[in-house]
Amino acid sequence: MDPKSVERWITTSRTPHRGHRWKAASFLGVDEVYVWPSVEKQAEKASTSELITYYPHRGAVPAPLWSSLIEKATDQVDILVYAGLFLFDSHPDLPDQLADKAKAGAQIRILLGDPDSESVRQRGEEEGIGDDLAARARITRRYLAPAMSTPGVEVRLHDTILYNSVYRFDEDVLVNPHVLGAPAGQNPVMHFRYLPGARTFRHYMRSFDYAWERGRTA
């Protein structure tokens, strides 16, 4: 950013674009409402719910929705999964798309399950697929390899116990809860859209940030 633009954020009442707000707040380690209290007031004029829709299982999420969210994202793409292989199998150009977005200035953060971790082994057993989950995580990592040399594309491995898979594209996030004994694809998906001052979107992204800080470079 031009330092003069940032100076105007501080010395005037000018509120930056949401993408710049998110990145600045993330860099400072605070909530954007703490830095720009005025955005909370905007929520009073908007819907009180960030929930766009609910899908009974992941297969019910329309394929065009995934494509649209991927294509329209310009500022931030965050993915937190154990493997997420379905997304890369159904979008073979996704690594190239992510690399192109990073070159245009977007931040891409992808968290994959560490295939050698206890959490991935345990989740594989719970889903009834055993070591296949670790194998899927390795395949996804291989798919991403060409994009990982692009500045702005970061891939990390995690060993956390996931309660949800998270797919964030700018101000939209798809949350896929993990239900004990059922594969992720059989579990519900909730589509949330960010509203200034509201809680749900930020709540899930704080969870992502927590896992991100615990991850290690792939």
Residue pLDDT, tens place only, 20-35: 887 888 788 877 777 8
Neighbours of 110 (CB within 10 A): 25
Question: pLDDT at residue 176 above 50?
Answer: yes
Residue 30 φ/ψ, nearest 5 degrees: -135, 170
Which pLDDT value is given to residue 3? Answer: 86
DSSP β-ladder status, 189-193 and 76-80: unpaired
Q: Which SS3 state, helix, strand or coil, does residue 116 take?
A: coil
In which band, very low, low, confident or very high, does the pLDDT at 47 lie, cut at 50, 70 and 90?
very low
Q: Which of 139, 138, 145, 168 has the alpha carbon at shortest distance from 99?
A: 145
Mean pLDDT of the chain: 90
- Specify which residues 107 forms β-bridges with: 76
Distance CA 186, CA 156 (A): 26
Which region among 3-7, 74-78, 207-211 has the lowest average model confidence (pLDDT)?
A: 3-7
